[in-house]
Structure 1
């Protein structure tokens, strides 16, 4: 398991909440926004719960493509071993300067979701239940100076 060390958790959460997330399904692209429901996606790809997860760039620290691809292959193997249904997805910053591939996974149980995210050194995932807004799940305690956000959960 990677040990996650984040210099500024509040800044990271703000950037993650503002990022653009997309999933590709049968040639169509569906946008995901933190705090908004993903009704079109859910109608097209029904599930009880969803999670966007990546193995790239733990804690947003850049890694080589080779290291990221190796980590991604390990994540895919674990998702496949768990029998999880997945679709290619990605996250990008609002300026389009940074893009990171990942997976949108259907019906992954919450314990497995958090275990995998921590194992791959991720600071956060997107996670939500059908019909509910997309939520940012920060896998660290909320900084004291960070206000409680409507669409952000912090693991205390």
Structure 2
């Protein structure tokens, strides 16, 4: 298990909330945003729960494309092992200067999702159930003195 060492968890969470997320289904790019329902996606691809995960840039530290692709291949093998149904997806900053490939998952158990995210050194995942707003799940303890970051859950410590 990798230990995350984030200097400012609130700034990181705020950046993840502001990011744009996109999933590709049958050639259509469907946007996802933290704090908003994903009605189009849910109508197009019904599931009991949804999640976004990536293996790229563990602990939010840039890695080479080769290292990221190797980590992604390992994540795909793990997703296959738990029977997770997936579609290609990505996250990017609002300016489009940073883009990180990942996977939109359907029906994965939360324990498997959090285990895989931790195993692959991720600071956060997205997770929600149909009809709910997309939520950011930060995989670190909530900082002791912090204003709430909307639609964000702190699920460690």
TM-score between both structures, scaled by the size of structure 2? 0.97
Aligned partners of 2:24 and 2:30 also within 8 Å: yes
- 2: distance between equivalents of 1:15 and 1:102? 17
Which residue number corresponds to residue 75 of structure 2? 75
Equivalence for 1:124:
124
Please, which runs of 5 or more residues in structure 1 have no aligned partner? none
Q: Secondary structure at the match of 2:146?
A: coil
CA deviation string 1:62-109 (max 9, x = no partner): 001111000000000000111110000000001111000000000000
What is the Cα deviation at residue 149 of structure 1?
3.1
Structure 1 runs of 4+ off > 4 angstroms?
A: none
Matches of 1:48 and 1:141 in 2, distance apart?
27
Asked if residue 138 in structure 1 is aligned to residue 128 in structure 2, the reply is no
* Aligned residue number for residue 47 of structure 1: 47
| CA deviation string 1:99-136 (max 9, x = no partner) | 00000000000000000000000000000011100000
The question of 1:63 aligning with 2:75 is answered: no
**3-state SS of the aligned residue for 2:24?**
strand
Residue 40 of structure 2: SS of its match in structure 1?
helix
Verify: 1:148 aligned to 2:115, yes or no.
no
Shift in Å, 1:20 = 0.2
Whole-angstrom distance in 1 between the partners of 2:145 and 2:29: 36
TM-superposition CA deviations, 1:11-60 (whole Å, max 9, x none): 10000000000000001011000000000000000001000000000121
Taking the aligned partners of 2:150 and 2:132, their CA distance within structure 1 comes to 12
State whether residues 14 and 149 of structure 2, in contact with CA within 8 Å, keep that contact through their aligned partners in structure 1.
no
Give the aligned length.
Answer: 156
Please give the secondary structure, in 1, of the residue aligned with 2:71: helix
**Separation in 1 of the partners of 2:154 and 2:82?**
25
CA distance in 2, matches of 1:105, 1:132: 16
With structure 1 as the length reference, what TM-score do the two structures score?
Answer: 0.97
C-alpha RMSD of the superposition: 0.8
